Amino acid sequence: MTRPTPAGRDCARAWEAMPWVIQATASHDQQAWLETHLATCDDCRMAFEQQRQLARAVRLPHDVPLDPEQGLQRLFARLDVDDPQKAEPAPRQASNGWLLRSLAAAVVLQAVGLGALGLKLWSSPDAPTAPASYRTLSNDAPAAAHGAIHVVPDKTLDMQAWNAVLQAQHLRVVDGPNGVGAYTVVAADASVTPKQAAERLRGTRGIRFAEPVAGAP
């Protein structure tokens, strides 16, 4: 290619203006200036004529053998099979994303809860060995209190008289009555042995049975 060298500033300006004058998008002043220049410059006039010829040639209808109607029918056939407007809508994808995020949040929340529970159990070493606060029927009966005495009051002894006996002999009910009306009592005074307390109870009116719990000292 031979690169042209503008012969002068006016010719370079004319070269710049030619396409837009041919397009009819140049300003009125630009077009008028070019016409004036072309009237005095043979080379630019020749170049401008060639540019107009170029535009006429480029604007000729294409000569490629194509039928728009056939092309349109092929496009419709394609859309019948693969219509992008009927593809999965974006909101559905957003909904799936929301569901996944919710599930992930639930998993994280559960993990945090389990962690906190584990931390609490770890920080309380006595907790696993602490006795349960309930007893099932299959469990053994709890051990009797130290120094306990089984006592069966007579049916004629009312509540006031029974309380009076307990207060007089410094006894405290720790269990009962059971199915046969027996109470378990302990002496408040540690110096009194269960045997002594039981003998004293047996000597009291209205007491049918008094006996230290087996194994009690």
Partner 1 sequence: MPQPDTDANDRLLLQRMSAGDRAALSVMYRAYHGRLARFLSRLTRRADIIEEVINDCFWIVWQKAATFQGESRVSTWIMGIAYRCGLKSLRQHGSEPVDEDSVPEDRLPSHDPGDDRELRDWLGRGMDRLSADQRLVVELVYGIGHSLDDVAAIMQCPVGTVKARLFHARVKLRNVLPGLAGEDAPAPKEKLP
* Of the candidates 127, 175, 184, the residue with the CA atom closest to the CA atom of residue 152: 184
Query: Are residues 210 and 201 in contact, defined by beta-carbon separation less than 8 angstroms?
Result: yes
Q: Which residue has the tokens 């559905």?
A: 92
Would you count residue 205 as binding partner 1 (CB under 8 A)? no
Q: How far is the CB of 119 from partner 1 (least distance, A)?
A: 51
Binding-site member from 32, 55, 107, 108 for partner 1 (CB under 8 A):
55
Choosing from 66, 137, 141, 190, the residue that interacts with partner 1 (CB under 8 A) is 66
Residue 27 within binding range of partner 1, rule CB under 8 A:
no
Contact between 157 and 204 under an 8 Å Cβ cutoff? The reply is no
* Ramachandran assignment for 89, one of left (phi > 0), alpha (psi -120 to 50 degrees), beta (any other): beta
Candidate list 39, 57, 81, 214; residue touching partner 1; CB under 8 A: 57
Q: Does 88 bind partner 1 (CB under 8 A)?
A: no
Q: What six digits make up the tokens of 216?
A: 């009690």
- Which tokens go with 24? 């009819």
Task: Indicate which single residue of 79, 94, 111, 117 sits in contact with partner 1 (rule: CB under 8 A).
Answer: 79
Specify the stretch interacting with partner 1 by CB under 8 A; choose among 48-56, 111-119, 136-144, 145-153: 48-56
Q: Number of helices and strands (H, E) in the chain?
A: 7, 4
84 near partner 1, judged by CB under 8 A? yes
Which position among 32, 78, 89, 93 is part of the footprint of partner 1 (CB under 8 A)? 78
Q: Residue 30 interacts with partner 1 (CB under 8 A)?
A: no
Q: How far apart are CA 30 and CA 18, in angstroms?
A: 10
| SS3 label, residue 209 | strand
Side chain identity at 83, as an amino acid letter? Answer: D
- By beta-carbon proximity to partner 1, the closer residue of 8 and 113 is 8
**In the set 5, 136, 138, 191, which binds partner 1 (CB under 8 A)?**
5
Contact 171, 186 (CB under 8 A): yes
Nearer to partner 1, 51 or 169 (CB): 51
Q: Which residues of 162-172 are buried (b: 16+ CB within 10 A; e: fewer)?
A: beebbeebebe
- Please work out the total of residues on this chain that contact partner 1, with binding judged by CB under 8 A: 50
Per CB under 8 A, 9 contacts partner 1: no
Interface residues with partner 1 (CB under 8 A) are 1-7, 11-12, 14-15, 19, 22-25, 41-44, 46-47, 49-51, 53-66, 68, 70-72, 74-76, 78-79, 84-85
